[in-house]
Structure 1
Amino acid sequence: MPLFKYIELNSAGRKKRGTIDAASIAEARRTLRAAKVHLLEINSAQKDIHRQLGAGTRTISFRRIKQRDVSVATRQLATLLHAGIPLVPALSALVEQLSAQPLEKVFAPIRDRVNEGIPLAKAMAEYPGVFSEVFVSMIRAGEATGTLENVLLRLAEIAERRTNLTNKVKAAMAYPAFMAIVGLSVIAFIFTYVIPSITKLFLEMNRQLPWPTVMLMRISNFIQDYFWLLIIMLIVIIIAPIFWSKTTKGRRAWDRIKLKLPLFGNLNRKIAISRFSRTLAVLLASGLSIVETLDLSRQVVGNTVISDVVEEAKNAISHGAGIAESFRRSGVFPPIVIHMISAGEKSGGIEEGLTNVADAFDNDVEVTVKALTSLLEPVMIVLLGIVVGFIVLAILMPIFDINRAIV
C-alpha cells in the first residue's frame, strides 16, 4: 500500500509531521479527518524517496543499484536469519555490511520501518525501483508462512542464476561483436584514407581501369562525399528502433520479431520460458495460489507475446482448466515444457517439474550460445575476408595491367 506523508497542526498549535499508509491520497485524507487530525498538507512519500535515501545533500538514484548487489544483500540477510539472528538485528548487521554502498540508503530506512512494527514486505514495497512486485510478494508470503529465510535464499538463487546466464550470453557474444567492430573500423579507414590516396595515382595513369577498381573508387568517393549523412543515418537506424520499442505497439511488435529472428529467435524463447518457469516454481513453493503466481510470473518474462499467453492461461485456469492444457493451447511453449508440467500436475510436484524445465532450458541456452558463437566467428571471418580480398584485388589489378604493358 502506498505511503503518504502529512503535516498536521496539533492541539498546542505546533506543526507535526507524520506518515500514513492508504490506498490513495483521498483515503488517507478521510482516515486522518476521521481521527480528528487538523491536516495542513499531505503528499506521496514516494516523491521524496531520493531525499530519504540521500546522505546530507547527496542523493542516490536507483539506477546505480544493480540487481546483482540486491541478490548478494538478499543472500546475506538469509544467512544472518539462518544463524538465528532476529530480523531487526539482522537488518542492522546488513546495513553495517553495506556501509558506503548505495543499498545502505535503502536497507537503513527499511530496518527503521521494521523496527516500528511494519512488515518487511510492506517496508520493501516502498522502494519499487529496487524490489520488484514479485520480490515483495514472495517476502510477504514468507512472512505469512514463517519461511522468510527460505524465501530469501530462493530469491537470491533466482537473481544469481539470471545474472550468471546473462553474463554467459554477453561473454559469448563479446568476441564476435569485437571482431565486427574492428573489421568495420578497418574497412572504414581503408575506404576513407587509404583508397583516396591510391585513386589519385590511378587517375594520373590515364588508363582504363578494371571494373572492380572503378567500383572501389566510386564506393570510396560516396563515403567521402556523404560521410556525415551516413553517420547520421547510422545513428538513426540504431536509436529509432530503441525509442519505437518503448511504445506499447512497438514493444509488442519487437517482442514478436525477437521470437522469429533466425538463429536468435529460439534462444530468446528459451531464455524467457526459463525465467518464467523458475519464477513460477519458486512462487508456488512459497504458498501462493496458481492464479496469483501466474499474474506475478508474467511480469518477469521480458516478452509481451509470452506474457499475453500467460495471461490467457491464467484466465483459463481461473475457470477450471489445467495448467498444462492452458499452455498447450497457446502454441508458444515447447512440447517438452507442456509434458513436464503435465507430469508435475499428476504427481503433485508441479514446482519440481517447473524447476526441471528451467534447469533444462538454462543448459540448452548455454549450449545454443556456444553453438551460435562457433558459427558466427567463421562466418564473420569469411565475410571480412571477402571484403578485404575484393579491396586487395581492386588495387592490384591496375598494377598488374601496368606491369604487363611495360613487359
Structure 2
Amino acid sequence: MPTFDYRADDALGQRCKGRLDADSSRHARQLLRERGLWPRQVRESSGFSLAGLPSGSRRLSAAELALLTLQLSTLVQAGLPLEEALHAVARQSARRRVTTLLSAVRDRVMEGHALASALGLFPTAFPELFRATVAAGERSGHLGHVLEQLALYTQARQAARQKIQMALVYPSILMLASVAIVGFLLGYVVPDVVQIFLDSGQSLPWLTQALIAVSGGVRHYGLFALSVLVLLVGVWRWSVRQPLWRLRWDRLALRIPLLGELLRAMEAARFASTLAILGQSAVPLVDALEIAAAVIGNRSIRGRMSEVARSVREGGTLTRGLELSGDIPPMMLHMIASGERAGELDRLLARAAEQQESSLAARIALVVSLFEPAMLVLMGGVVLLIVLAILLPILSLNQLVN
C-alpha cells in the first residue's frame, strides 16, 4: 500500500502534517476528512522504496533493533493485529530508515507473507538469529512472548558490548596521549636541547647518543613510518575480508596468551546465550546449533561448532560434541551435561551464559585495571629516560667547569 505525506488544517485552523497509508491520493484525502482534517497537500512519499536506500542505511543498530522488538512485542501481546502493530511502531520511530524498513516489512505481511519471511528480505537489518526465532514464535503461536525474549536478549547483548567499550575508552585515550607526548618530545623538544651539547664538542653519554639517534629517526622517517603503518593496516583490513586469511588470523588470535582466553570466553558466552534463546523459542536443537555457530565471530571456533552441530545431527550428544571441540569452559560443560540429563537444557544454558558473561566482564575489568597503571609506569619510564639523557651531559659539563 502506498504511503502519502500530507499537510492539512485541523478543526481549529492550525496547520499539521504527517504520513498515512492509502490506496490512492483520493483515498488519502478521504481518510483525512474522516479524521476532521482539511487536506491542503497530499503527495506520495518520495524515496520510500527500500531499493533506493544506500546499503549502509538498511542496517539497524542493536539498540534500534531491541527497541522496535520490544514495542512490537508489547503491541502483539496486547492483541493488536500484526500489520497494525508494525504500522504503529513504524510511525513511532523518529528515524527515517527504521520507518522505511518496517513499512516495507508491513507491506509484505499485508500481501500474505509470514513475518519471518518478510524480515528475510532485509538480512543486514534482521540477522539470522532474529528471523529464526520469529519463525519459531509464529509456528508456536506465541509470537508476542518470543519477541519479548528477543528484545531482552538484544538489550543484554548491547549492554554487555557497551560495558566493554566504556571500559576500553580510558586506556585507549591514555595510550594515544602517551604516544603523542613522546613523539612530540622526540621530534621537537629533544633536538633543540641536545644541539647545545653537540655544539660544545664534548663526548656524550651513550644514553644521550641513543636519544639523539631516536630523535633523528622520528624527525626524518616519522612520516614514512606512519605511511607504512597505514599501509599495513589497510592490507590487514583487506586480508580479514578474505575467507582463508580471516581463518588464519582467527587461529593466530586464539594462540595469543591473554587475548586467546578472552576470545574463547567471549565466544562461549555468545554461543550459549544464542542457543538458549533459540531453545526457549522452540527451535529444534540441530537447527539452533547451526544458527548459534553462524553468529560466532571467530572463524576457527565457528568451524568447530559447526562440527558439533553435525555430530548432534548424526545422533551424538551435545555435551560430548562440545567437549571434543575444546572451546567451552569446564563449568559450562558440566551445566550443559546436567541440563541434558534433567531435560532442562534451555534453562541451564541461559544460566551458564549469564555466569560466563559475568566472569568475562570481571576478567576484562581486571585486565583494564592492570593496563592503566602499566601504561602510566611505561610512560613515566620513557620520560625518565629522556630526562636522564638530557641531564647526564649537563652533569658532565658541571664536572668539567669545576
Instruction: Confirm or deny: 8 A CA contact 2:319 2:337 kept in the other structure.
Output: yes
> Which of 373, 381, 400 pairs up with 1:378?
373
Identity of aligned residues (%): 32
Question: Which residue number in structure 2 is paired with residue 200 of structure 1?
Answer: 195
- C-alpha separation between the residues in 1 aligned to 2:313 and 2:113? 32
Question: Which residue number in structure 1 is paired with residue 64 of structure 2?
Answer: 69
SS for the counterpart of 2:124 is coil
Going from structure 1 to structure 2, the CA distance change for 1:99 and 1:220 (only over 3 Å counts) comes to closer
1:51, distance to aligned residue in structure 2 (A):
7.0
- C-alpha separation between the residues in 2 aligned to 1:263 and 1:94? 44
1:289, distance to aligned residue in structure 2 (A):
1.3
Cα RMSD (Å): 1.7
Task: Read off the aligned partner of 1:162 and give its amino acid letter.
Answer: R
Question: Which residue number in structure 1 is paired with residue 50 of structure 2?
Answer: 53
Give per-residue Cα distances to partners, 1:30-56, cap 9 Å, x unaligned: xxxxxxxxxxxxxxxxxxxx97227xx
Question: Which residue number in structure 2 is paired with residue 222 of structure 1?
Answer: 217
- C-alpha separation between the residues in 1 aligned to 2:343 and 2:60? 39
In the TM superposition, structure 1's runs of 4+ consecutive aligned residues that sit over 4 Å from their partners are 57-60
Instruction: Confirm or deny: 8 A CA contact 1:73 1:94 kept in the other structure.
Output: yes
SS for the counterpart of 2:257 is coil
Task: Read off the aligned partner of 2:386 and give its amino acid letter.
Answer: I
1:241, distance to aligned residue in structure 2 (A):
2.0
SS for the counterpart of 1:259 is helix
Instruction: Confirm or deny: 8 A CA contact 1:263 1:372 kept in the other structure.
Output: no
Q: Does 1:139 align with 2:134?
A: yes
Question: Which residue number in structure 2 is paired with residue 14 of structure 1?
Answer: none
1:62, distance to aligned residue in structure 2 (A):
3.3
Question: Which residue number in structure 1 is paired with residue 37 of structure 2?
Answer: none
1:236, distance to aligned residue in structure 2 (A):
2.5
Q: Does 1:354 align with 2:349?
A: yes
1:293, distance to aligned residue in structure 2 (A):
0.7
Within a 5 Å distance, the mapping from 1:2-401 to structure 2 comes to 52-53=49-50, 61-62=56-57, 65-401=60-396
Instruction: Confirm or deny: 8 A CA contact 2:279 2:285 kept in the other structure.
Output: yes
- C-alpha separation between the residues in 2 aligned to 1:138 and 1:370? 32
- C-alpha separation between the residues in 1 aligned to 2:201 and 2:330? 68
- C-alpha separation between the residues in 2 aligned to 1:261 and 1:346? 36
Give per-residue Cα distances to partners, 1:359-405, cap 9 Å, x unaligned: 00110111001100111111111111111100000011111111222
SS for the counterpart of 1:61 is helix
Give per-residue Cα distances to partners, 1:334-382, cap 9 Å, x unaligned: 2112111110001000001110111001101110011001111111111
Instruction: Confirm or deny: 8 A CA contact 2:86 2:102 kept in the other structure.
Output: yes
- C-alpha separation between the residues in 2 aligned to 1:347 and 1:326? 18
SS for the counterpart of 2:282 is coil
TM-score (structure 1 length as normaliser): 0.84
- C-alpha separation between the residues in 2 aligned to 1:103 and 1:345? 40
Name stretches of at least 5 consecutive residues in structure 2 with no aligned partner.
Answer: 1-46
Instruction: Confirm or deny: 8 A CA contact 1:60 1:102 kept in the other structure.
Output: no
Going from structure 1 to structure 2, the CA distance change for 1:175 and 1:89 (only over 3 Å counts) comes to same
Give per-residue Cα distances to partners, 1:125-166, cap 9 Å, x unaligned: 111111112211111111111111111112112211111111
1:63, distance to aligned residue in structure 2 (A):
5.9
Name stretches of at least 5 consecutive residues in structure 1 with no aligned partner.
Answer: 1-49
> Structure 1 residues 98-107 or 315-324, which shifts more?
98-107
1:100, distance to aligned residue in structure 2 (A):
4.0
Instruction: Confirm or deny: 8 A CA contact 2:59 2:125 kept in the other structure.
Output: no
- C-alpha separation between the residues in 2 aligned to 1:207 and 1:383? 31
Q: How many residues align?
A: 356
Instruction: Confirm or deny: 8 A CA contact 1:62 1:130 kept in the other structure.
Output: no
Going from structure 1 to structure 2, the CA distance change for 1:235 and 1:59 (only over 3 Å counts) comes to closer
1:257, distance to aligned residue in structure 2 (A):
2.3
